[in-house]
Chain A
Amino acid sequence: MRIDSSNIPDKFSFEKEKAIARTFAQRFQWEMMVIGIGQAIVWFSMWFLVINNYISIWVGFFVATICACLSYLPSHEAQHGNYSRGNRKKKWLDALIGNISLITLMYPYPIMQVTHMKHHAYTNDPEKDVDYDIVSSKNAWEVFLATADGTDKYQGIYELYKDDQNFVDKFSQGLLISWVQRLVQLTLVVFFPLETLFLWFLPRKIGTFYTALYFSWYPHKGLAIGRYKDSKFWVNFLPRYLTHSMQLHFVHHLHPNIGHWSEPEAIIALKPFLLARGVPGAEHIPDKINYRPLIGKA
């Protein structure tokens, strides 16, 4: 990607920014691995506990919904190869966590991976951004409508990128996984109708909506196309963790290899660069963080 640095002082050059960012792209993201695998284990256990009447279906629904809300980000780290960190011998770890973590949301990891790479390449582009249906939503209800039909939009995305062989290969792999997931769900619903509704279908819909709202919509809403223009920093009263850390989504778009749990430290270190580049909302970045998983004013 070509970056216009004509008005940027040398001390805020892209090379220097990248060098700082790289220092936060080293650590193994064990927290995300624990969350990804952990939520899947908890979610599976809900089936056993509810079907055998150890807990009520309402408790199961509540826990399964939390699992669904936690399931995308660990897979997202895998999509960027942030577990293997370029080590080919550890690629299996990306695939393992990426696939297992997404079972709760019933999304096929290979399709999520290739489409997410296209989102990074064409963020906010009305023609090419795979998330543009969500990005262009005017309000939360429109986000809900955009997510309500699950994987329906992916056929159109396939048509858009069918000349990209890597995309087609991954998409085909993901399609098979998607069919297996659908078949499993349709089999389960025959034998365990209400359990399938309350432990999988509804939590999945809520988790998808929640993720789309904080992950795909708000960080990009109303913004332009361009490396330093397409995502914003924002704050609200909730701790970072409860909002899926999406206040920091902009730094992820700038440097996707920074580990999710290292992003708070990274934005503090990169703040002068982000201000110099005029990143939306950069002026609200605090000067220091008060507790690692939380963002608070200094």
Chain B
Amino acid sequence: MQFLLESVSTHIQDWGKVWFGLIFWGSIFNEILLYNPFQAFNIAINLFPYLLGLCFGLIAKLRGRWI
């Protein structure tokens, strides 16, 4: 149990920002993009907000902080 807790904790510590960028900011950007009149059911466009969120998360991970 202790090992599991430590593994999850380490993973969140190392990759938490990346997951947060992908899921949280990706979902926010995706929602904002739905207001774009040019947005169609195009998989490339639909993936874009999540990729953007992922990039934000990766940058935050590399910098060690969001701002």
Interface, chain A (partner B; CB < 8 A): 145, 148-149, 152, 155, 172, 175-176, 179, 182, 185-186, 189-190, 193-194, 196-197, 201
Contacts and interface: CB of A to CB of B under 8 A. Distances in A.
B7 to A, nearest CB: 12
Given A149-B65, A189-B23, A190-B23, A179 B8 contact: yes
B24 A148 contact: no
B28 A193 contact: yes
Given A185-B24, A189-B24, A194 B66 contact: no
B13 A155 contact: yes
B31 A193 contact: yes
* Interface of A: prevailing SS: helix
A194 B31 contact: yes
Nearest to A149: B65
Contacts of B31: 193-194
B5 A193 contact: no
Interface of B: 5, 8-9, 12-13, 16, 19-20, 23-24, 27-28, 30-31, 65-67
Given A179-B8, A189-B28, A201-B24, 11 more contacts: A145-B65, A148-B67, A149-B65, A155-B13, A172-B5, A175-B5, A182-B12, A186-B20, A189-B23, A189-B27, A190-B27
Given A155-B13, A172-B5, A194-B31, A186 B66 contact: no
Nearest to B31: A193
Contacts of A190: 23, 27
Contacts of B16: 182
Contacts of B19: 186
B28 A194 contact: yes
B65 A148 contact: yes
B66 A148 contact: yes
A116 B4 CA distance: 27
B42 to A, nearest CB: 19
Contact of A197 (B5, B12, B20, B28): B28
12 contacts: A148-B65, A148-B66, A148-B67, A152-B65, A175-B5, A175-B9, A179-B12, A186-B23, A189-B23, A190-B23, A193-B30, A194-B31
B12 to A, nearest CB: 7
Among B5, B19, B30, B31, find the residue whose CB has the most chain A CB atoms closer than 10 A.
Answer: B31
A149 B23 contact: no
A238 to B, nearest CB: 28
Contacts of B8: 179
B18 to A, nearest CB: 12
